[in-house]
Amino acid sequence: EVQLVESGGGLVKPGGSLRLSCAASGFTFSNAWMSWVRQAPGKGLEWVGRIKSKTDGGTTDYAAPVKGGFTISRDDSKNTLYLQMNSLKTEDTAVYYCTTGGSNFAYWGQGTLVTVSS
Amino acid sequence: DIVMTQSPDSLAVSLGARATINCKSSQSVLYSSNNKNYLAWYQQKPGQPPKLLIYWASTRESGVPDRFSGSGSGTDFTLTISTLQAEDVAVYYCQQYYSSPYTFGQGTKLEIK
């Protein structure tokens, strides 16, 4: 059974940083393209970015609102996906979901809430 | 960026009746080289993450009941629930994966009448 478990969310001040983790199990993580999708409170879904598998180059791609501030990485030895978020803004407040897939998203974690507020 | 627009924003349907949700993309998501529409549908129930229902515009994900069907091509797509069940109350999203950034519609809230 595929499981994705996010952690690392919390309250952070504007301009601060946070690193989210996603522990994956039940599939061959190293072969998977992975993505982050976020959802602001009471709002719709927004793709944040993705990382390809290392065999496909391991490259990343980001949505414009987070480009330059967010970095996606992976540790295949730990079956873990990361989202490093720097220079956080109030509009980054959202539930952040880890998902399988680079463009459409078959499996989702339960999400972790990031609140950016002074 | 490709803009995805769903209609209606909300919908109330009687149990056992048909529900239809529309999705329009600002440009075609049909890739001519493989004749596939890069369009997915998701269901999100309250307090839960989204669930993939349909991909390639009309292919049901494994385990999804056959009362859910997707249709359309190019820029106009439809999600149909043939016989609404109580457990289908949710918000439904379409999403294009034709080109980055991969964008979602604003969502359609489906309720029981």
Q: Write out B75-95 in H/E/C secondary structure.
A: CEEEEEECCCCHHHCEEEEEE
- Answer whether B22's CB lies under 8 Å from B11's CB: no
Whether residue A103 and residue B106 make contact (CB cut-off 8 A), yes or no, is no
Out of A47, A64, A110, whose CB is closest to B102? A47
Residue A26: pLDDT over 90: yes
**Would an 8 Å CB–CB cutoff place A44 in contact with chain B?**
yes
Sheet containing strand A3-7, edge to edge, reads: A3-7, A18-25, A80-85, A70-75
- Angstrom distances, CA of residue B8 to CA of A90, B18, B40, B105: 30, 14, 17, 11
- Angstrom distances, CA of residue B45 to CA of A43, B51, B110: 13, 9, 10
Whether residue A45 and residue B51 make contact (CB cut-off 8 A), yes or no, is no
Quickly tell me which residue has 């970015």 as its tokens: A49
Residue B18: count other Cβ atoms within 10 Å of its Cβ: 12
* Nearest-5° Cα angle at B100, B25 to B63: 70
- Answer whether A111's CB lies under 8 Å from A37's CB: no
Of chain B, the end-to-end C-alpha distance in Å amounts to 36
Quickly tell me which residue has 């974690």 as its tokens: A109
The pLDDT-based confidence of A102 (bands split at 50, 70, 90) is confident
- CA distance, residue B4 to nearest chain A CA (Å): 12
B6: Cα separation from own chain's centroid: 9
Out of A103, A104, A108, whose CB is closest to B49? A108
The widest CA-to-CA distance across chain B, in whole angstroms, is 43
Give pLDDT tens digits for A50-100.
999 999 999 999 999 999 999 999 999 999 999 999 999 999 999 999 999
Whether residue A104 and residue B101 make contact (CB cut-off 8 A), yes or no, is no
Q: Which run of H or E residues covers position B37? A: strand B36-37
Give pLDDT tens digits for B55-108.
999 999 999 999 999 999 999 999 999 999 999 999 999 999 999 999 999 999
Write down the pLDDT at residue A53.
Answer: 97
Out of B48, B61, B104, whose CB is closest to A45? B104
A39, two tokens: 């959802």
> What 3-state DSSP class applies to B41?
strand
Residue B113: pLDDT over 90: yes
Q: Which residue of B has its CA nearest to A103?
A: B97
Give A36's contacts in chain B (Cβ within 8 Å). Answer: none
Residue A103: pLDDT over 90: no
